[in-house]
Structures are given as C-alpha cells and as structure tokens.
Amino acid sequence: MNWLTIIGIAFGLSLDAFTVALTNSIVIKDLPFKHGFRMAVSFGFFQFVMPIIGWAAGMTFSSYIKRIDHWIAFTLLAFVGGRMIWNGLPIKRKETYHSDDEKKDCRNLLTLFLLSIATSIDALAIGLSFAMISVEIVLPSIVIGVITFMVSMIGYGIGKKIGKIVRIELDILGGIVLLGIGVKILVDHLTS
C-alpha cells in the first residue's frame, strides 16, 4: 500500500475527531489549551491503537466485529450526544450548569474516553481490512494517529475562534452533531 493511500485513509479517519474537537471547543467557552491538547492526544492515541487491535483480531474475529462495529460507535456517540442535548435544555441547564458542567464534556476523562473510542471505531475496521489484505500495520497506524492528533488540534483551534464569535450556548447543537456522526456511521455501514 502506498503512502498517498495511507495518508488519505488517515485524513478520512480523522474527520470525526476533527468534528468532535471543533464542537467541544465551540461549546465550552474558553476551553483551556491543556484540555484541547489532551483531547487531541486521546483521539490520536486511540486512532493509532485501534487499527493495531483490529489487525490483531482480524484473523479470528473479523466477521463478528464487522457486524457490530457501527452499532458500538452509534451507541457511544448517541449516549454522549444525548447527554449533551439533555443537559443543554433550559430546565436542565438551570439545575446543573455550574456543578455538573465539566461532567458532560471532554474535560471529563470518562466522556473523553467514550468519545475517543467512538471516533476510532472506523480505525478498528481499517485494521481488520489491512489484516485481510496482508498489509503491515505499525507504520500506517503511526501515520493515522499523528494525522488525527494534528487534525484534532486544528479543530480545537478553529472551534476556539468560532466560540469567541458565537456567544450562545451550543450544548444542544454539539449533541446533535455527535448524534449526526453516529447516525452517519450507522447508515454508512448498513447501506454498504
């Protein structure tokens, strides 16, 4: 497999992470750099690891994982997105805005973990595909992880700029975006 193909795959896989990083940095006003960096590292790390896991499992479990990978991604994104929408509702915001604000976004390690898994399920499938066509996985995984990190940092930076211009609470919009990504993953897999 040539480098241009690997880079193209890496950019394609990084788009969900870009969207989530962008959305989080718009929704969370003045999201500190350390959280944006941690988010990008987490997304990049999971995009690096998941193809390796998929490749390793490819010989024995590929038929089982391929059948449910889209459902796993959809469920995780629906959970996080649904929680953002619920917490963004005016009544719910009055109850939880200050005390639970950090529990519903990327500043919370559990939420960041779930987002990282959800945005890297496709990378697991790529690893499975690479195993099927006997492609070595380490270098492609490194490229995928590094590009995802860079693209996520770009998403974080753009989101911070947009967040300074847009001064409305966007929790509901952020949740809808995550749900939309989940639905897209589900529809892509069910129709292919």
102-129 pLDDT, tens digit per residue, is: 545 778 888 899 889 988 888 887 887 7
Amino acid residing at 131: A
Question: For the chain, which ranges sit under pLDDT 50?
Answer: 94, 96-101, 103
Q: What is the pLDDT of residue 97?
A: 44
In the 8-state DSSP scheme, what is residue 100? S
* 61 touches 172 (CB < 8 A): no
| Residue-level length of the chain | 192
| Vertex 173 angle, CA 74 and 192, to 5° | 30
Amino acid residing at 147: I
Q: What is the pLDDT of residue 174?
A: 66
Using one digit for the tens of pLDDT, what is the confidence trace for 133-150? 778 899 999 999 999 999
Helix (H) / strand (E) element for 161: namely: helix 138-165
Q: What is the pLDDT of residue 92?
A: 55
Per domain, the residue ranges of the chain are 3-191
Q: What is the pLDDT of residue 23?
A: 86
Residue 192 vs residues 67, 70, 185, 189: alpha-carbon distances, Å:
12, 12, 11, 5
